[in-house]
Amino acid sequence: MQLRPRVQGRTRRLSAVPPLLGTLLLILLALAVRANWNFDLILGNAEKRYGNLGPAKGRIQAWDELIRASENLAEKDKLTSVNRFFNRQFRFSDDIRNWRQNDYWATPIEALVKGAGDCEDYSIAKYFTLRRLGVPSERLRITYVKALKYNQAHMVLTYYASPGAEPLVLDNLIGEIRPASQRKDLLPVYAFNAEGLYLPGQTGKKSDTKKLSRWQDLLKKMRAEGFDIGEG
């Protein structure tokens, strides 16, 4: 957010360049600013909140390194890299044990500080990391499902290469990314992203994610931690 005034200053100086080139430069500048996360600032904010981070500092730095190493990968390889990273970084722990709450949506920093999280925390961390790596929000959906084997609610991240494509499922229960048709153990309930809320069988969005209070609380917490994430 702090970089926006510099972008505005630069856009005024683009008036002398050809319109098409100026437009391209504007797009590239906007993407560069939106994609930038200052991990020095993020670590500093985390240390102010938690004190000495201990091993958590290494986990947060590893996250930064993952992003740097994955920026130039093909999109499918980004999915694999990010899915593997968080499945290895977190140990599963439910919200009661982690946060003494029944349903708490942790930011990636909160989960990395704990080194643990539940299915929501895996999915949220994967979603925002892929968004940081340039995957459009319309290709990603945080998806609530019923895990039939366990007869309980579960959350995964789904990826759509195109609007009508079969989604791929990024899950902490199964390390391998598989097409949804191969996940007969999951029954979709609803999904959401920065674009809106989706129900099974509906091609359009049902409602605005501003009505999802936990999502809005999560965005607010991440902004306070130093992340430039827009509306997600």
Summarize pLDDT for 104-141 with one digit per residue, the tens: 999 999 999 999 999 999 999 999 999 999 999 999 99
- Using one digit for the tens of pLDDT, what is the confidence trace for 170-204? 999 999 999 999 999 999 999 999 888 898 876 66
Q: What confidence score (pLDDT) does residue 72 get?
A: 96
Nearest C-alpha neighbor of 160 from the set 184, 134, 135 = 135
Q: What would the mean pLDDT of 15-34 be, rounded to a whole number?
A: 44
- 9 has a pLDDT exceeding 80: no
Q: What confidence score (pLDDT) does residue 201 get?
A: 72
155 strand-pairing partners: 144
Residue 176's CB is within 10 A of a number of other CB atoms, namely: 11
Q: What would the mean pLDDT of 130-157 be, rounded to a whole number?
A: 96
Residues near 128 by beta carbon (within 8 Å), at least 6 away in sequence: 108, 222, 227, 229, 232
- 74 has a pLDDT exceeding 50: yes
Q: What confidence score (pLDDT) does residue 156 get?
A: 98
Per-domain residue ranges of the chain = 1-36, 37-225
- 30 has a pLDDT exceeding 50: no
pLDDT band at 85 (very low <50, low <70, confident <90, very high): very high
Average pLDDT along the chain: 86
Q: What would the mean pLDDT of 11-19 be, rounded to a whole number?
A: 42
- 11 has a pLDDT exceeding 50: no
Segment among 62-66, 67-71, 140-144, 193-197 with least mean pLDDT: 193-197
Is residue 190 a contact partner of residue 176, using CB atoms and an 8 Å limit? no
Q: What would the mean pLDDT of 212-220 be, rounded to a whole number?
A: 91
Q: What confidence score (pLDDT) does residue 203 get?
A: 63
The secondary structure of 22-34 as a DSSP string is HHHHHHHHHHHHH
> What is the value of pTM for the model shown?
0.83
Task: Say if domain 37-225 classifies as CATH 3.10.180.10.
Answer: no
Q: Tell me the two tokens of residue 67.
A: 């992003």
- 222 has a pLDDT exceeding 80: yes
Question: Can you say whether residue 73 is alpha, beta or left, with left for phi > 0 and alpha for psi between -120 and 50 degrees?
Answer: beta
Decide which of 13 and 204 is more confident: 204
CA–CA separation, 133 and 141 (whole Å): 15
